[in-house]
Amino acid sequence: MFGGYKASKLKPQLKMAVTRFQISANKKSALMKQQIREIAKLLADDNPKEEKARIKAEALIRDDNTVEAYDILQLNCELLSERIQYISYSKECPGDLISCISTLIWASAIVDIPELLEIRKQFRYKYGKHFDSDAMQNVGGVINDRVAAKLSVQPPSAYLVQTYLEKIADEHEVDWKPKVPLRADQISEPHNNGAPAPPAPPSFGVIPEAPKSSEQQSANVPLLPTPAPPSRIDDIEEEDIFVPGAPKSPPGSINIHNRNDDGGDGGEQVNRGRTQSAGERSNGSKDNGGEDESYDDLAARFAQLNKKN
């Protein structure tokens, strides 16, 4: 008769929960500072009480995780308080608020915040007992993973406890080293966290080649052979060369710098013409003199003939 969802009851409970989370977090933070000083004294003794310090470090880690979870739960309460009208006018739980509401319902049975019990009751009136049971059993993994990890009842790993002790000793300038070093499996605990091992690196027997770009592919095209550099006789203009028995070509008939009709460079054609003319001259010299003259002798001979003329 007096039950049922009421936004006028839910919103004040959400605001009071925010204040309660702040007060509880401040108390735990002050308690943590005291615990840190006690751990530093235990490690600073001439005979360090390492086992007792480890037990206190576990309690310190648990309180530290609880404070961090309180911060997340406080933000959830603030978000729901701002969207109270949206919740009231929605027949079903909005998709973007399922994780937020389910996390508060799940945490109400773990944390010492009495306002969460009334908040859970209001949401059970609003969305039914099935929604409440799914949140408590974390059906579909709707609970915030970080909150679930911080409020877990599992004890902290040995590596994490020793890390806290080393940090406390360093901050309080205590010269302390652990008596018993950690084993390899204890050191690897925080790195694995139940996750599968990383894949093995590839072997370096055969290194695959990277795909080639268009420029690299064009670079692999075989280049045409470059023409040989011009010989010394090519430097002599054909107008100044006198060949006995051969008609002298009229001036301007051969121009080295001419280009072909289609705009391309005619240098290759000129080089072929020069090669052929040089071959004809050498054949003619063989017929006349019967000897194979070098280019230097032939150039000297042409120079003497020019002087005579």
Residues 180-212 pLDDT 10s:
676 656 565 544 343 333 333 333 333 334 444
Residue that wins the pLDDT comparison between 13 and 3: 13
Residue that wins the pLDDT comparison between 268 and 295: 295
**From residue 173, how far is each of 61, 153, 283 by CA, in Å?**
21, 32, 101
| pLDDT over 70 (residue 86) | yes
In angstroms, the CA 161 to CA 166 distance is 9
In angstroms, the CA 76 to CA 143 distance is 12
Strands (E), the chain: none
The arithmetic mean of pLDDT across residues 241-260, rounded, is: 47
The arithmetic mean of pLDDT across residues 88-106, rounded, is: 94
What pLDDT digit, counting tens, does each position of 13-55 carry? 999 999 999 999 999 999 999 999 999 999 888 787 888 999 9
- The pTM of the full predicted model, rounded to 2 decimals, is 0.59
The arithmetic mean of pLDDT across residues 283-292, rounded, is: 46
